[in-house]
């Protein structure tokens, strides 16, 4: 009985290769959080492309790795480029990445398309709602938060579409399915 408990492997594995990929995705998240890789919107706003890497990593990695990539990566990106929102980003992106990954993570292979689609759509509402609350109560005004809602949906929708296309319609899917989980 005691030997059986010792033989069970943990849910989350860490290897050098996995740590490198987590660090790489985190760095890409930070880079895509910058104003260099954004699309200007009316009203002095921007659409950031880091939603793509947050959704993709949450669909591919285990929940802990997804939180590191999504939450910590967004936190660092905001720390460097937009510090007033860094703690809101840490919380919102961590919850978003965790929920998406918890729904879709499989020990072998990737989840079916419709499960992934449902998960990232839930992530859209977490992101839009979280940033709405953050902007309305912590680093902006209610009027500013209301104006930003459509642009938040566009940003999140871009992340959903591109991440699903990358995962299911590119050669990346084959590589990820063969990616060692330990």
pTM: 0.87
- Residue 86 located in a structural domain: yes
- For residue 129, the domain's CATH number is 1.10.1760.20
40 - beta bridge partners?
A: 46
- Residue 160 located in a structural domain: yes
Q: Which residues contact 138 (CB under 8 A, 6 or more apart)?
A: 87, 88
pLDDT of 76-133, one tens digit each?
A: 999 998 888 899 999 999 999 999 999 998 767 788 999 999 999 999 999 999 999 9
- Residue 120 located in a structural domain: yes
- Residue 29 located in a structural domain: yes
- Residue 6 located in a structural domain: no
Q: Which helix (H) or strand (E) holds 171?
A: none
pLDDT of 15-29, one tens digit each?
A: 788 899 999 999 999
- Residue 69 located in a structural domain: yes
Which comes out higher in pLDDT, residue 98 or 145? Answer: 98
Do the Cβ atoms of 53 and 96 come closer than 8 Å?
no
- Residue 94 located in a structural domain: yes
- Residue 4 located in a structural domain: no
Phi and psi torsions of 3, nearest 5°? -65, -35
- Per the structure, the complete domain to which residue 21 belongs is given by 15-177
pLDDT of 32-61, one tens digit each?
A: 988 778 888 776 577 889 999 999 999 999
The domain total for the chain is 1
């Amino acid at each position: 009985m005691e030997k059986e408990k010792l033989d069970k492997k943990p849910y989350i594995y860490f290897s050098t290769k996995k740590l490198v990929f987590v660090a790489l995705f985190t760095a890409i998240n930070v880079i895509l959080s910058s104003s260099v890789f954004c699309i200007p919107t009316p009203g002095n706003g921007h659409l950031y492309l880091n939603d793509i890497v947050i959704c993709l990593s949450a669909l591919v990695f285990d929940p802990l790795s997804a939180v590191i990539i999504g939450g910590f990566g967004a936190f660092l990106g905001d720390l460097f480029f937009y510090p007033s929102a860094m703690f809101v980003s840490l919380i919102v992106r961590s919850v978003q990445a965790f929920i998406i990954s918890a729904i879709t993570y499989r020990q072998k292979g990737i989840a079916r398309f419709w499960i992934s689609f449902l998960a990232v759509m839930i992530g859209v509402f977490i992101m839009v709602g979280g940033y709405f609350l953050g902007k309305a109560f912590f680093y902006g005004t209610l009027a500013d938060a209301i104006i930003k809602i459509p642009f938040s949906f566009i940003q999140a929708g871009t992340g959903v579409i591109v991440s699903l296309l990358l995962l299911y319609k590119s050669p990346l899917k084959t590589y990820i399915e063969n990616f060692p989980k330990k």
